[in-house]
Amino acid sequence: MAKYRKLGRTSSQRKALIRAEVTNLLHYGKIVTTEAKAKEIRKVAEKLIALAVKEKDNFETVTVDAKAAKKDKDGKRVKEVVDGKKVTVYETVQKEIKKDMPSRLHARRQMLKVLYPVTEVPEEAAGKKANTKKVDLTQKLFEEYAPKYADRNGGYTRIVKIAQRKGDAALEVLLELV
């Protein structure tokens, strides 16, 4: 008996398909796909969420000194003339950062092996490259999904049957996070 569904694809195509669908599921919260694909995607997504739940509190908060550019009331950098050149003025700022413990860092890297990078484009900036922003799905897993599912022991996703697809009569389902 096979341990996974082949989905009519080669191993590299299957891996890419599952990675893309898991990324979309975690980014949007729900996807519509066929039943066979949903069952394979569910396996990977639940493992990632379980990993995030396990490592959610495994960090330490550290205070560091950081140099930041001094800004005026308009938000522009303050510059002063030194030896005939304009130089930006910097000030030292105390910042608190979360420093991952080794096991959480390993978990983050395991997640990054599966998840594709996601860029979000606001509607008003459609077609423009300047206003795009990168979405950190590992951060979303640790800070949004892990506290939400902390008291659950698995079962983070739900498959709801929708209908048969018109073209090939494949059973379509809605795969969503509970």
44-79 residue pLDDT tens: 999 999 999 999 999 999 999 999 899 888 888 989
Q: What is the mean pLDDT of residues 146-168?
A: 95
pTM recorded for the entire structure: 0.84
Please check whether residues 116 and 168 belong to one and the same domain: yes
Please check whether residues 24 and 106 belong to one and the same domain: yes
Please check whether residues 63 and 53 belong to one and the same domain: no
Please check whether residues 81 and 107 belong to one and the same domain: no
Number of domain units in the chain: 2
Q: What is the mean pLDDT of residues 144-172?
A: 95
Residue pair 25/64 in contact by the 8 Å Cβ criterion: no
Q: Calculate what percentage of the chain has a pLDDT beyond 70.
A: 98
List the domain range (segments joined by +) for residue 82: 59-100
Please check whether residues 172 and 107 belong to one and the same domain: yes
Please check whether residues 120 and 45 belong to one and the same domain: yes
Report the pLDDT value the prediction gives residue 1, as an integer from 0 to 100: 60
In a domain, 6, yes or no: no
Please check whether residues 27 and 108 belong to one and the same domain: yes
In terms of DSSP bridges, do strands 90-100 and 79-82 run parallel, antiparallel, or are they unpaired? unpaired
